[in-house]
């Protein structure tokens, strides 16, 4: 058998995209609670705020992260806007049913995130919110009932607006203490229920600004924010081991597989630099405990002076992670030439590859790229890999008898699991695989529900209309079979 019996199979979701209950149980709002719904053809979604004169202002985000409001802006709700994350898939009220369905598929793991705004709605100053703490305790106990091991992410695209209003966000060093205290409460409260943790989701997306037109000020801000997150992460890793030596903590890096579009050595170099800058800059710090040598080149290119404290270097060195979690959806090409067609992606923009098919949302499908990418990162880091996100966003049709024939999703998953199997057979140490969004949830880039990733269908649409009943898709039965056969039966 290619996959061992203790290989972890399951799915991953995130608090903001699945829970709903946006103002229940003492939770305070997060940025994305004020974002609208986009479409496959639009450039994404917007955060809508109130201007001084009461009219609407719009901010376009890089993915699920929006810029902070302009000084005169205010977070407000408008009646004519549907805010899809506020109810999301209503996991907040359906978690028992959802976990029972996961157990029926035979999951051995489940990755979700904890909403910071449920645990500390108003930072350390406002105190921990017991109701929020109890909600996750109930979820984790439910998982335990079915022997599903949680992998818990502490921070995933849901910045509480309190931190923007109080500190101006992660450029402020104070955020390190806020995060570490939040982590301490979670690590302590759930000590007996959770021992696999991820500190930040796709932490490297902060570096994506380098791909867009930007000035030195923006660059300085992003590098500084990322430095603070890296230090907060390292301190959390150390704390996790003190609180429970059984704890294993990983990083989660957005994986992108890119190819040089032409054999022009300039394209080859550009492609390699992209891997260094967007993936390794953060992964090196989290896995090897220090910034890579090419960080100097990047700081020079962007005119950066990092503000650091002496303890930062020690903490980064001591707080390295034990597994490398990553997401993988697609691949793209890179080129220094200007004639190529750009192609879409969630967070990465790149160039079209004539050899690949695309999803309905324009994402290029590349299972071999998945295998390539696993070899690349395992060769470099030599620590266990955990595939935290992989899946296909597509529209589904519910037949009159309630069945959903999503063979396109099955094909995507089959090809990617096969590629992962080959990587394992060729020596890559992969310890688990969680498909993205196994229960339909709100898309991060467009805010849509109709861009479905689930194996479990949630009966609601882009405007929140529907019963929120759950239905098993064909992929549900297929994945169950894959898990039962330890990844051998992919037919």
Active site residues: 202, 389
Instruction: State the binding string over 67-96 for ligand BG6 (x if CB under 6 A, else -).
Output: ------------------------------
Question: Closest approach of Cβ 154 to ligand BG6, in Å?
Answer: 14
Quickly count: other Cβ atoms within 10 Å of residue 148's Cβ: 19
Query: Out of 443, 455, 460, 482, which residue is the one contacting ligand BG6 (CB under 6 A)?
Result: 443
Pick one of 88, 254, 261, 424: the residue that binds ligand BG6 (CB under 6 A). 254
CA distance 89 to 24: 15
Quickly list DSSP for 430-476.
Answer: EEEEEEETSB----TTT--SSSB--SEEES--TTS-S---EEE-HHH
153 binds ligand BG6 (CB under 6 A): no
> Binding to ligand BG6 by residue 133, rule CB under 6 A?
no
Residue 201 makes contact with ligand BG6 by CB under 6 A? yes
Does 236 help bind ligand BG6 (rule: CB under 6 A)? no
Stretch that binds ligand BG6, among 65-73, 351-359, 414-422, 436-444 (CB under 6 A): 436-444
Give the number of other Cβ atoms within 10 Å of residue 381's Cβ.
19
User: Is the Cβ–Cβ distance between 208 and 215 less than 8 Å?
Assistant: no
Residue 202 within binding range of ligand BG6, rule CB under 6 A: yes
Among 393, 438, 454, 487, which residue sits at the site for ligand BG6 (rule: CB under 6 A)?
A: 393
Closest residue by beta carbon to ligand BG6: 445
Smallest distance, ligand BG6 to C-beta of residue 41, A: 14
Say how far apart CA 277 and CA 280 lie, in whole Å. Answer: 6
Which range of residues in 99-107, 309-317, 350-358, 438-446 is near ligand BG6 by CB under 6 A?
438-446
Give the shortest CB-254-to-ligand BG6 separation in angstroms. Answer: 6
Place of tokens 């103002």: 23
Tokens at residue 372, please? 């390539």
Of these, 3, 7, 9, 14, which contacts ligand BG6 (CB under 6 A)?
Answer: 14
From 34-42, 47-55, 281-289, 444-452, span contacting ligand BG6 (CB under 6 A)? 444-452
- Count CB atoms within 10 A of the CB of residue 4: 10
Closest approach, Cβ 488 to ligand BG6, in A, equals 28
Kindly state the smallest distance separating residue 434's Cβ from ligand BG6, in Å: 12
Write the DSSP symbol of residue 355: T
Q: What is the CA radius of gyration of the chain?
A: 21
Residue 259 parent element (H or E): strand 257-260
Query: Of 57 and 362, which CB lies nearer to ligand BG6 in the complex structure?
Result: 362
Q: Does 445 bind ligand BG6 (CB under 6 A)?
A: yes
Residues 41, 46: Cα–Cα separation, whole Å? 14
Nearest C-alpha neighbor of 139 from the set 181, 182, 186, 180? 186
- The set of long-range contacts for 220-223, using a CB threshold of 8 Å and a minimum separation of 24, is 220/302, 220/303, 220/304, 220/305, 221/171, 223/299, 223/302, 223/304, 223/306
Q: Work out whether 327 is an interface residue with ligand BG6 (CB under 6 A).
A: yes
Q: How many Cβ atoms are within 10 Å of 396's Cβ, its own excluded?
A: 18
DSSP secondary structure letter of residue 62: B
Among 346, 353, 364, 434, binds ligand BG6 (CB under 6 A): 346
Binding mask 351-390 for ligand BG6 (x = CB under 6 A): --------------------------------------x-
Residue 396: DSSP 8-state: -
- List the one residue from 207, 285, 295, 444 that touches ligand BG6 (CB under 6 A): 444
Which residue ranges make up the site for ligand BG6 (CB under 6 A)? Answer: 14, 17, 157, 201-202, 254, 327, 346, 389, 393, 436, 443-445, 451
């Amino acid at each position: 058998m290619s996959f061992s019996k203790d290989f972890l199979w399951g799915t991953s979701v995130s608090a903001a995209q699945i829970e709903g209950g946006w103002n229940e149980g003492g939770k305070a709002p997060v940025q994305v609670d004020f974002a609208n719904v986009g479409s496959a053809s639009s450039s994404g979604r917007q955060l809508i705020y109130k201007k001084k004169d009461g009219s609407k202002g719009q901010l376009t985000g890089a993915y699920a992260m929006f810029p902070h409001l302009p000084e005169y802006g205010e977070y407000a709700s408008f009646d004519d806007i549907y805010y899809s994350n506020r109810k999301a898939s209503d996991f907040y009220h359906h978690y028992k049913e959802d976990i029972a369905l996961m157990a029926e598929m035979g999951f051995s793991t489940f990755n979700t995130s904890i909403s910071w705004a449920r645990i500390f709605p108003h930072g350390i100053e406002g105190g921990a919110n017991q109701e929020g703490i109890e909600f996750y305790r109930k979820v984790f106990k439910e998982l335990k009932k079915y022997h599903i091991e949680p992998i818990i992410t502490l921070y995933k695209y849901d910045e509480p607006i309190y931190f923007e209003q109080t500190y101006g966000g992660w450029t402020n060093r104070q955020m390190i203490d806020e995060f570490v205290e939040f982590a301490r409460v979670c690590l302590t409260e759930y000590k007996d229920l959770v021992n696999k943790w991820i500190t930040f989701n796709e932490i490297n997306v902060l570096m994506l600004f380098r791909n867009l037109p930007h000035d030195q000020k923006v660059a300085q801000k992003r590098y500084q924010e990322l430095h603070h997150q890296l230090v907060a992460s390292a301190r959390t890793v150390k704390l996790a081991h003190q609180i429970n030596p059984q704890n294993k903590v990983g990083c989660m890096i957005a994986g992108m597989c890119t190819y040089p579009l032409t054999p022009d050595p300039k394209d080859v170099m550009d492609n390699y630099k992209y891997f260094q800058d967007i993936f390794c800059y953060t992964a090196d710090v989290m896995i090897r405990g220090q910034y890579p040598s090419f960080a100097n080149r990047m700081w020079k290119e962007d005119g950066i002076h990092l503000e650091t404290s002496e303890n930062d270097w020690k903490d980064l060195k001591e707080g390295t992670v034990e597994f490398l979690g990553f997401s993988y959806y697609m691949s793209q090409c890179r080129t220094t030439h200007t004639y190529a067609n750009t192609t879409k992606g969630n967070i990465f923009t790149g160039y079209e590859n004539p050899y690949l098919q695309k999803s309905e949302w324009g994402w290029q499908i590349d299972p071999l790229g998945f295998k390539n990418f696993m070899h690349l990162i395992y060769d470099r880091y030599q620590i266990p890999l955990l595939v935290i996100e992989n899946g296909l966003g597509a529209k589904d049709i519910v037949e009159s008898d309630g069945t959903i024939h999503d063979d396109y999703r099955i094909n995507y998953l089959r090809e990617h699991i096969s590629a992962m199997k080959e990587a394992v057979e060729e020596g890559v140490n992969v310890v688990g695989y969680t498909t993205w969004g196994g229960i339909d949830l709100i898309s991060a880039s467009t805010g849509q529900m109709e861009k479905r990733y689930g194996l479990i269908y949630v009966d609601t649409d882009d405007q929140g209309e529907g019963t929120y009943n759950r239905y098993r898709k064909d992929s549900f039965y297929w994945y169950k079979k894959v898990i039962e056969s330890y990844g051998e039966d992919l037919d």
